[in-house]
Structure 1
């Protein structure tokens, strides 16, 4: 295992899942950062292909997972909405954007 090791807790206070999530995510902008990066990559991919997008928006769903190995990981589902192209174009741009912003 790399990095600092967690220290055992000497005090424990019960929190609701919402409070635990708020504590875990307080001040972190992973969801906004990933979404902004990917949206920028989508726009760049469109520009490189000379595709004019009339609008772009994105939402993100971030999940914190605790694996069987005891490790934590983050995963993201990014949902872009692109105006000015058909579904095939949007899928092409999403694939290209994933190469720019993996």
Structure 2
């Protein structure tokens, strides 16, 4: 995440808190109650984001992990494209031989 993204998120969260406070105040709550409820709203949003982040880390569904997977697949595809037909046939024969051996072992 870039620095400007973090700043943007901070400004948006701050604006949500301010809008919540003003909305609650205009709905008839006094200053203290509107402040408490707007803070509760912000804490809820931050906790929900934190739990979603922990969930994405646990399931490895993050940008870095996806980029790493895409890179590894691209490198393997490039290596496969560079193989000659004879090398490709030999590789396929080795794979079939390993499959046959693993099928006999189970």
Question: TM-score with structure 1 length normalisation?
Answer: 0.32
* Higher share of residues assigned helix: 2
TM-score with structure 2 length normalisation?
Answer: 0.31
| Higher-RCO chain (CA-CA 8 Å, sequence separation at least 6) | 1
Which of the two has greater strand per residue?
Answer: 1
State the structure with more CA Rg: 2
